[in-house]
Amino acid sequence: MKARRGSSIYQAADGRGANESWKVSAPGRRDSDASLIGSRRSSSIQSKTEAFPISDRHYQQSAIRSINSYLSSHSFHITLTLKPFPSEKDIKETFRFVLLGFDWDVGKKMEDDLLIVLRCLGCPIKFNKSILKGPGAPHSWPTLLATLHWLVQALKYKEHLASDSSTFFAENELLQYIALSYGHFLRGDDEAVSEIDKEYISKLEQQNAVSMQNLEAMEKQVADLEAKVQGIKGRPLRREVLEKDKGLLKADIQKFSLLVKELVSRTKDLEASLENRGRDLEERLKEKERILAENAELRKKIDAQTVNVRDVDKMRREVQAVENEVAEIEKTKIGWEEKSWELQASAANVLKEVECLIADSNQAIKR
């Protein structure tokens, strides 16, 4: 059994007992970080073994995941499983690796070292050396698993405290100054102490000057902000302005709605009128086709008849009358077509105006 001379575990095993608070060794000796774990037992550590459901399947699976996660994060080559049970060699190698995390030099009899560490850390799980004689047996594996899980959790907490402490010291300039100054003071190097004091005071003065500049800038910023606040207080509230604009917009929306309804009604009337004109035009065209057909039929009859000069004159007059009538019909047709085109153009313009008004109304409603 070997423990490092400065280690807190060594001190606890040296006769002070596991219940005594962990203590820091003398200056110049390396203290184990395990002292951070055992500084004062919590109520959870003082609980009985029954608080650990070592036979529960879910607890065992959770413990295996936690242990394997820690081992893999530290590049350990062994992975534990519930089925089949790990070999005796793997179990002992895993315990040896975990004990090394507590700065404990493990000897040939790892069982003795493990019992001492568990007693020093105050492990609440009942553990004896006979369990390690058959670690892979079904009756001993749950206890070994719970013990290993407890040690891994304690080791995680130790590493967490160590990382937090080192980060806090590295970021705290005052602690660094005190440590350096006190170290030179203990060695009796007054010149080094004075030099460190001058350097630290100069640094503080520079920081103070920067802080004063920042303070003046912030005071100026505060004055500017107060002036802006006063200016804002003198203006009407934005809510009142928006409510007024909202009222005006509502009135505009109502006007636009009425205008749109009126335009829609006029559009429907124009469309109905245009439809009627179109039907009239179709009837006139059909009548024209009928007349042309009658003329063609009459021409055939005339060509088939033997006529005299008087009949020819009469027929010419009739043809002239028909041609005059056809010309009148053509004029009427042209007039109707012109009116139809005018109505179509007017309807298209009205539809464009309606679409523009509807778009303006929608934009006003969205605002």
HSE-CB of 90 using CA atoms within 13 angstroms? 16
In this predicted structure, the answer to whether residue 1 has a pLDDT above a threshold of 80 is no
Say which amino acid occupies 51.
Answer: A
Tens of pLDDT, residue by residue over 251-286, are 889 898 898 889 898 888 888 888 888 889 999 999
Integer Cα distance of 99 and 92 in angstroms? 11
Spatial CB neighbours of 270, under 8 Å, sequence gap ≥ 6: 343, 346, 347, 350
Label each residue of 107-137 as H, E or C. Answer: CCCHHHHHHHHHHHHCCCCCCCHHHHHCCCC
Integer Cα distance of 106 and 296 in angstroms? 129
In this predicted structure, the answer to whether residue 12 has a pLDDT above a threshold of 70 is no
Integer Cα distance of 38 and 20 in angstroms? 9
| Residue 112 vs residues 19, 33, 56, 92, 203: alpha-carbon distances, Å | 19, 21, 28, 12, 54
Integer Cα distance of 140 and 211 in angstroms? 65
Tens of pLDDT, residue by residue over 273-332, are 888 888 899 999 999 999 999 988 888 887 776 666 777 788 788 888 888 888 888 888
Residue 294 in contact with residue 319, Cβ under 8 Å? no
